[in-house]
Each structure stands twice: as structure tokens, then as C-alpha cells.
Amino acid sequence: MYRFSNLLTPWDGVMFVLLLAVLLPLALYIRRTRYRYDPSGRFLLPGLLVKIAGGTLLGLVYQFYYTAGDTTGYFINASSLLQLLLENPADGWALINANFSQLDFETLALYEKYRTRYWLVYWNDTNSYNVSRYILPFVALGLNTYYGTAVLVAAFSFIGVWLLYRVFVSYYPDISGRLAVAILFIPSVFFWGSGILKDSLTLGAVGLLVYGCHWLLRSGFRSIGAIALTVYTAFFIYQIKPYVTLSLIPFLSIWVGLTVRQRLTNGLLRFVLVPIIGAIVVVAGYLSLTFASVSSSRYQTDRILSSVVEIKRDLTSGYYYLDGRGSAYDIGDFDENLLSQARLFFPAVGTAYFRPFIWEVRNVLMLFASIESTIILILFISLLLRTGLLNLLLLVSRTPFLVLCLGYSIFFGYIIGLTSGNFGNLVRFKTPSLPFFLAGLFIADHLIRTYRRQRFERLQTLGRRSLVNPEPSSSVTSP
């Protein structure tokens, strides 16, 4: 574990105030110019403030409640790389670009040379080391202060989340308020998804990736900028959390493919596009799996099932398990057999989004998580009671955007619910999928209400027409 060591200094306060003095007027300017006549723009400044508050609060919680955490390790590692880069640019640049190959003897020698002077943690953990590499510019702009860096990381994450919100609103502007709650203001998301953690960078990149796909659709696949943004953000995500890439890319492909199919007017082309979409999804899944396997042997095709067992074992042992402070859960044992893991699908998804239950609460943070998950459970049950499971499934199958939202979030929830092992891990790991799940519920509810309202209005119209133009009587009057 990596402990705080005098990370809250007067300079942190100074940088915090200075960065707010820059970011808040900038947000106000964007709000007044870009979204002056857009009602959803009113959430821009509150959304940014909530993200900054979440990132700051996370640092304080880890400093005074947990007294240790990975957030410290990421910052210290980046800070060490920055100091080395300023003192010896050549050596610092070499360590920043380390590829962790055992055959890279020159970089290994540099690591041995400097590791006694600098705290280069996560040296053998590529995904975690990448976090330090990516936050290095924020550490520099924050003048090597933890809370200054936290504000900038929160701002980066907010850019992605805001663009994700704009994509959702472009499809469903009538429920912009509810979508803002789902994407911008979920407490666990703006807390765990705003500080110096993997989850903040991943959440921001997921938003940028979805926006890039939306941009591709809007431009007719002719925008080089959209292609570059989509490819780079997908690469960015798998360098930090490969399993997010594995979960998201196939459903993005389905969404894009089905949206293109719906826009076609030629029936033959619409029919032919179905197997093409299937092939694209398979290829996208295979490529994302191949790229992810580069960063870790766990994601090699022939090791996926055994890797799930390994991940579960890792997360329920050592300090990961103890970090939950009594928050462990057990949905059942499983092994490397596919059926053994598949039979836990519903318990895993239910655990991901509806637990901890109130009687499972063991500490203050679990209490907040339990309140949030209980509200989501109530929303889900009320939706099912109004529509029925079959009607909900039919609605999803006919709505490409719901396929993305609920398909991705349910599959992702299955993965983390199966492997996390305790609620402390779970509440963090579901950060990239929870906005999709809750927004998907709101969208489904909106579409169902809209359909019923339109059907009622049609019936009323038919009723009025029958009164204005009644059918002629079939009876014959005697002379």
C-alpha cells in the first residue's frame, strides 16, 4: 500500500484556488456561448463542480480515512518521473517510455540506478504504470501538487463524461434532466470517477470513445478526426483496463452497425447488412481481445476462462480483500469451466448493480453505496412491472442505442460482479458502466411512456372522428 506523506500542503491549496479561477470562468464562457439556447447546457458548470469536488473528496478520504491507497502510488510514481525528467531528460524520457521487456537491459539498468533515489512503484504492473505516464502532464501543470493534479484529472474526466452526455441528449433531448442525473450526478461515479485513479481516466476515455463513434455516424465515416479519436481512445482504455475494451468495443460495433442499417431505405441492403454487422462484431471482439492480450497474458484467447478465476483469486486476497473492511461477498464458487461461470450470470449482474443491500453495510462508504444501489433496484423493478420483461427485451432489440447502453452495462456488470469479491472493489470497478445502465433504464422508460401516450392519442383521435362522422345506421325504417 502507498501511504500519504505530507501531500496536503499550502501549495496544494494555492494550486486548487488558481485552477478553479481558470476552469470555472472557462466553463461559464462555454456555457454562455456554446449552449446559450440549449436547456441541457445548464448542467455544464454543476457537472464540472461535482467532478472537482469528487476528486478532492476522494483524496481526503484516502488521506484521513484509509491513510493509504493506489491514488497515492500513481501520483508519487508520476511525480518521481517528472523530477527525473527535469534532472536528466534522457534517462527520464527512457523510463517514461519503458516497455517492461526483460530484454530491454538498458531501461532495466536505469531503473536499478534510480529506484533508490525515486519511488518508482508499479514497475512490474504495466497497466498501473500507464496511469502514472498519462497523468504526468497533469502533475506538471499542477506544479507537482496532489490536489492540483486531482483537479486536472477531474477536469479531463469531465470532458469525456460531458461529451458522453451530449451524445445521449442528441438522441433523447426530452429527458435531458434525467440523463444528467444518470451520467453526471451519480454519487459513486463522480466520487470514484474523478480522482487520481484508473477509473477516472477510463471513464473519461469511454465518454470520448462513444463520442468518437457518434461523430463517425454523423459524418458518414468521412471524418479523419473522428477516426483518430475513436482509435486512440480505444487504445488508451486497453492500456489501463483491457477488460473495459473487451466489453465495450463489440457493443459499440453493434450500435454503429444497427444505426447504419436503420438509415438505409433499400430493403435488400438492410437484409444483407445483418450478417455483415455480425461479422464486424466478431472481428471487433477478436481484435480488442488480441490488443488486450498484448498488455497481459490473462487476455489471451486460450486463457480467458482461467484468467477469470485468477482475477477473482487476486482480488479476494491480500490488501485488495482487506481494503474492503468487511465488505466481502460470495455469489458462489466457479472454476475454469464455461458453464460453471455462466450459471452465475444473474447473481453477478444483480450484485454489480443492486448490492450491497442495506443489511450488508459495514462502514460509511458502504452505506452510501447501498442507498444508491437500492434506488437503482427500485427503478429497475418499477420499469419491469410497467412493461414486463418480454416487452423490455423487444424494445431493446429494436433500439440500437439501448443495445449499446444495456447490452454493454449488463455484460460488464457480469464480469465485475463475478470477479470483484468485495463491495469496495465493486463500487469502483462499475464506474465505467453505471451511467450506461441507469441511462438505459431512463431511456427505456421514456420510450415506453411515449409509445403509450401516442397510442392513447391515436385512440382519442379515432373516437373523435367516429363522433363527427358516425357510421350510417344499418336499420331500415318502415314507410
pLDDT block averages, 10 residues each, the chain of length 479: 64 92 94 88 94 93 81 90 89 83 72 76 83 93 93 96 95 93 93 92 95 89 88 91 87 86 63 58 52 45 48 53 59 68 84 88 84 93 87 87 93 87 85 94 91 79 65 41
Q: What is the pLDDT of residue 304?
A: 46
Helix (H, G, I), strand (E, B) or coil at 116: coil
* Cα R_g (the chain), whole angstroms: 25
Main-chain dihedrals φ then ψ at residue 36, nearest 5 degrees: -60, -40
Helix (H, G, I), strand (E, B) or coil at 62: helix
Helix axes 198-219 and 146-171, enclosed angle (nearest 10): 30
Q: What is the pLDDT of residue 118?
A: 75
| Cα-Cα end-to-end distance for the chain | 103
* DSSP sequence for 269-320: HHHHHHHHHHHHHHHHHHHHHHHHHHH-GGGSGGGHHHHHHHHHHHHTSHHH
The residue written with cell numbers 451511467 in the block is 435
Closest among 444, 353, 445 to 401, alpha carbons compared: 444
- pTM of this prediction? 0.86
Main-chain dihedrals φ then ψ at residue 424, nearest 5 degrees: -60, -45
Q: What is the pLDDT of residue 335?
A: 59
Cell of residue 323, nine digits: 481494503
Q: What residue segments make up the domains of the chain, in order of their start?
A: 6-190, 305-451
Q: What is the pLDDT of residue 50?
A: 95
Q: What is the pLDDT of residue 432?
A: 93
* DSSP sequence for 415-462: HHHHH--BHHHHHHHTTTTHHHHHHHHHHHHHHHHHHHHHHHHHHHHH
Provide the 8-state DSSP code for 125: -
* DSSP sequence for 189-249: HHHHTTSSSHHHHHHHHHHHHHHHHHHHHHHTT--HHHHHHHHHHHHHHHHH-HHHHHHHH
Helix (H, G, I), strand (E, B) or coil at 3: strand
pLDDT tens profile 66-100: 777 789 889 988 998 899 898 888 888 888 888 77
Rounded to an integer, what distance in angstroms lies between the CA atom of residue 353 and that of residue 158? 23
Q: What is the pLDDT of residue 284?
A: 55
pLDDT tens profile 219-229: 887 889 988 99
pLDDT tens profile 100-123: 766 567 778 887 777 767 777 777
Rounded to an integer, what distance in angstroms lies between the CA atom of residue 460 and that of residue 468? 12
- Asked whether 387 and 450 are in contact (CB, 8 A), the reply is no
